[in-house]
Structure 1
């Protein structure tokens, strides 16, 4: 089940525990209504077990909130449609990302993530900061004891993104991207602009492979996102992945291109 990222999880757990107490419900009674054992409830409230979307939905049922806690998670940090992908991402042994326009979230700097999120004018400053924090928190999987293999394919336009006041942010982003690309388990490949049209220009996508060998895909659009787990749809994404990967430069040449782009922004 999908984990809710810290520190949002701590806040939501505290609110669920407070609501349970106000309703006069024991952990056992709450668990029966939510669909979990008392020991599971105790572990979540004690911080030894991750808060998941299923637990949040169960809490809404047990407490008859009308979906309050699920909406709270969506409003404060992580959209509910994104939680299933977070689960796949955090438990993956292999990750594949293709992005034609932006740097993937797992490789973004804090300043770059903030600049991207601020383009959504419906988000308040607090909501932007909460989502930046959640995005940076996701990156811990790359520096853990057993990180996944991450292969990212980017279109050159994504690394040459420019604009007034964005030069320093982009320069810092390229510097971090190069540092990540030098890690043994991170591979960054760039599709050069001279390639022209290619199948990836229809949109970004991602693939995650679990330790059990199961692949899951993710597609994101202007209104949200969807997890892909049907065999025929996964086969289509795998084929498109092979296409964009074959269009990209080899790893070392991609890093050289990134260094060339970074030099245009001056020392960071």
Structure 2
């Protein structure tokens, strides 16, 4: 996989820059507050790379953020080919719209919730699950960057009322995200009955030039929608689900009510 090739590149550059700085693994470990065995495990590939580690190496080795940039490349390259155009649209959007009738949208998932969702495929190796979890959390950084997009998420009440133990944490996270001025969370109440959104999730990204890119999921993966007719259909479906959803303040109150039913965290 391309992500593995990029990860190999990061490890090679870690060794090269450490050596050029005149540091052995033990000396670098002391400066970075990692053990020499951890440094060795990362450089040989027996320990996976993670953001905290490469950020610390950037600081200690004064690389100007090289390793963090390479790690982002590795995570993007590891995404399925059908998903990469949507990731590009998501990163460059001025406004993002998400609807899901059964799950919390990925951009608003906690780590534990994302891990549970990604484990739906029980044939997936644990290392692959963890890589995908890291990539999903990386996507969420657009919410806290200097100039974030406006995010409007519509979620069906049924998605909030799962009884899994991780839901208390997830609901608390939704409330924190809803406190951000650019994040709008709306809930379709259960008494809305049958509606057009039950045919499946959708996402829309509005780009700086005013154009729209859509994305839809299915059991085999997903597909990007960028043709005029397809985008127009998704925009119409979006208006349908948005029109059924509660206002922002009432949606927040409903999320708090559901959260309270889980008891103290």
Give the TM-score category using the shorter length: 0.7 to 0.9
2:91 equivalent to 1:94: no
Number of aligned residue pairs:
212
List 4+ stretches of structure 1 deviating above 3 A.
7-10, 12-17, 46-53
In 1, Cα distance between equivalents of 2:184 and 2:197: 18
Q: Are the counterparts in 1 of residues 76 and 84 from structure 2 also a CA contact under 8 Å?
A: no
Match of 1:209 among 206, 210, 224: 206
Question: What residue ranges of structure 2 are gaps of 5+ in the alignment?
Answer: 14-65
Aligned to 1:247: 244
- Structure 1 residue 94, shift from structure 2 partner: 0.2
TM-score calculated relative to the size of structure 2: 0.74
Task: Give 3-state SS (helix, strand or coil) of 2:83's partner.
Answer: helix
Task: Give 3-state SS (helix, strand or coil) of 2:214's partner.
Answer: strand
RMSD of aligned alpha carbons: 2.7
1:63-74 paired onto structure 2 within 5 Å: none
Q: Are the counterparts in 2 of residues 12 and 73 from structure 1 also a CA contact under 8 Å?
A: no
- Structure 1 residue 49, shift from structure 2 partner: 7.5
- Structure 1 residue 73, shift from structure 2 partner: 7.4
Aligned to 2:156: 155
In 2, Cα distance between equivalents of 1:156 and 1:171: 14
CA spacing shift, 1:48–1:251, aligned 2, 3 Å: closer
After superposition, give the CA deviation of every residue in 1:100-123 in whole Å (9 maximum; x if it has no partner). 000000000000001111111121
Q: Are the counterparts in 1 of residues 76 and 135 from structure 2 also a CA contact under 8 Å?
A: no
Q: Are the counterparts in 2 of residues 178 and 255 from structure 1 also a CA contact under 8 Å?
A: yes
- Structure 1 residue 211, shift from structure 2 partner: 1.1
CA spacing shift, 1:256–1:238, aligned 2, 3 Å: same
Question: What residue ranges of structure 1 are gaps of 5+ in the alignment?
Answer: 18-45, 57-71
Q: Are the counterparts in 1 of residues 10 and 70 from structure 2 also a CA contact under 8 Å?
A: no
Aligned to 2:185: 188
- Structure 1 residue 9, shift from structure 2 partner: 8.2
Q: Are the counterparts in 1 of residues 195 and 241 from structure 2 also a CA contact under 8 Å?
A: yes
Match of 2:217 among 196, 210, 220: 220
1:165-184 paired onto structure 2 within 5 Å: 166-167=164-165, 169-184=166-181
Aligned to 2:7: 11
In 2, Cα distance between equivalents of 1:236 and 1:267: 42
Aligned to 2:81: 80
- Structure 1 residue 16, shift from structure 2 partner: 11
TM-score calculated relative to the size of structure 1: 0.73
- Structure 1 residue 212, shift from structure 2 partner: 1.3
